[in-house]
Amino acid sequence: MYITVLDNGFVFVCGELIHDGHSYTLTRARCIRLWGTSEGLGQLVNGPTKDTVLDHQIPIISVPNHAMIFTFQVSEVWASHLS
């Protein structure tokens, strides 16, 4: 599971992140509408806070290489929020 930061301020948590050289595919993705953190995005590594707001799940998102800013792996705690 990963949190991905895209251009234009979009942040997604996703179940799987696949890179084919030209684009990224995010599966079981949910946009993190509101981080709900007091210590930045990294605070979400071990799951959402009580104030985190997630949009409805999007089964598959394709993201061009140039739109991906960075990603980081997150805890399996997120699994229950992606099903």
pLDDT on residue 55: 97
What are the pLDDT digits (tens) for 7-34?
Answer: 999 999 999 999 999 999 999 999 999 9
Q: How many CB atoms lie within 10 A of CB 8?
A: 6
**Residue located via tokens 């993190």:** 32
Rounded to two decimals, the pTM is 0.93
